[in-house]
Chain A
Amino acid sequence: KAGVTQTPRYLIKTRGQQVTLSCSPISGHRSVSWYQQTPGQGLQFLFEYFSETQRNKGNFPGRFSGRQFSNSRSEMNVSTLELGDSALYLCASSLMGLAETYNEQFFGPGTRLTVL
């Protein structure tokens, strides 16, 4: 079974630009979560999508948005990039649904975003 894939793997942008990151979950997984990881920090939760609906949201400004498509693939968008947005963005998928009893997440390799 193929794992979680993220594209692109590396991205360099300048301040003020916008960026879209893509995540393809493991086949059959309906939940996709996005995280931001900066050096020395843990994972900061951005949002989670389940069946095309945003189910949970972290404490990030409105410049960060996302969506999920009917095939469970998800995109994350960051508008008006700032220097502080430079980070590793991780996507994770899980089976998590009403019948699931726990939320074990399977992570992609991440997209490393550098904002100049």
Chain B
Amino acid sequence: SQQGEEDPQALSIQEGENATMNCSYKTSINNLQWYRQNSGRGLVHLILIRSNEREKHSGRLRVTLDTSKKSSSLLITASRAADTASYFCAMEGRNYQLIWGAGTKLIIKP
């Protein structure tokens, strides 16, 4: 399979809570990216973390990368209804091709 693995497949939390989703991969990577897809705005790039970085922040987003375990996590703090979407990780391989996870569907309940 050309896909990475994401878990959980679906996540439902109350507004204001934190959401954590995980991604694992098998090959060496240049970087790992997270994207969000919802019906209103399509698929949008959120954050990129390079292979030599361990943690990165962008607003309410925090991404970690553990290259020894070939895994990454995305934390969304203080969730909002607008965060309801599917979240995908994408690993950039040595040939610059992106390999995608199957996605985590996040639902924020009011």
A interface residue numbers (CB < 8 A to B): 33, 35, 40-45, 48, 56, 58-59, 90, 92, 96, 102-110
Closest to B96 in A: A103
Tell me which residues across on chain A come within 8 A of B50, comparing CB atoms.
102
Q: Contact: A102 with B92, CB < 8 Å? A: yes
- Closest approach, in angstroms, between the C-beta of B94 and any C-beta of chain A? 11
* Chain B contact residues, majority secondary structure: strand
* Chain A contact residues, majority secondary structure: loop
CB contacts under 8 Å to A, within B43-69, are 43-45, 48, 50
Q: Contact: B100 with A45, CB < 8 Å? A: yes
Which residue of B45, B48, B100 contacts A42 across the interface (Cβ within 8 Å)? Answer: B100
Q: Contact: A45 with B98, CB < 8 Å? A: yes
Tell me which residues across on chain B come within 8 A of A96, comparing CB atoms.
96
Q: Contact: A41 with B102, CB < 8 Å? A: yes
- Closest approach, in angstroms, between the C-beta of A57 and any C-beta of chain B? 9
Number of A-B contacts (CB under 8 A): 52
Q: Contact: A106 with B45, CB < 8 Å? A: yes
Q: Contact: B43 with A90, CB < 8 Å? A: yes
What per-residue 1/0 map shows which CB atoms of B86-110 lie under 8 Å from chain A?
A: 0010101001111111110000000
With A102-B48, A110-B42 given, is the CB distance from A44 to B2 under 8 Å? yes
- C-alpha gap A90/B88 in the complex (Å): 14
Q: Contact: A45 with B92, CB < 8 Å? A: no
B interface residue numbers (CB < 8 A to A): 2-3, 6, 30-31, 33, 42-45, 48, 50, 88, 90, 92, 95-103
Closest to A104 in B: B45
Q: Contact: B100 with A107, CB < 8 Å? A: no
- Closest approach, in angstroms, between the C-beta of B87 and any C-beta of chain A? 11
Q: Contact: B31 with A42, CB < 8 Å? A: no
Tell me which residues across on chain B come within 8 A of A48, comparing CB atoms.
97
Q: Contact: A109 with B2, CB < 8 Å? A: no
Q: Contact: B33 with A45, CB < 8 Å? A: no
Tell me which residues across on chain B come within 8 A of A41, comparing CB atoms.
102
Q: Contact: B33 with A42, CB < 8 Å? A: no
- C-alpha gap A48/B2 in the complex (Å): 15
Other A-B contacts than A42-B102, A102-B30, A103-B92, 16 sampled, CB-CB below 8 A, are A42-B3, A42-B6, A42-B88, A42-B100, A42-B103, A43-B100, A90-B43, A96-B96, A102-B48, A102-B50, A102-B92, A103-B97, A105-B90, A107-B42, A108-B42, A109-B42
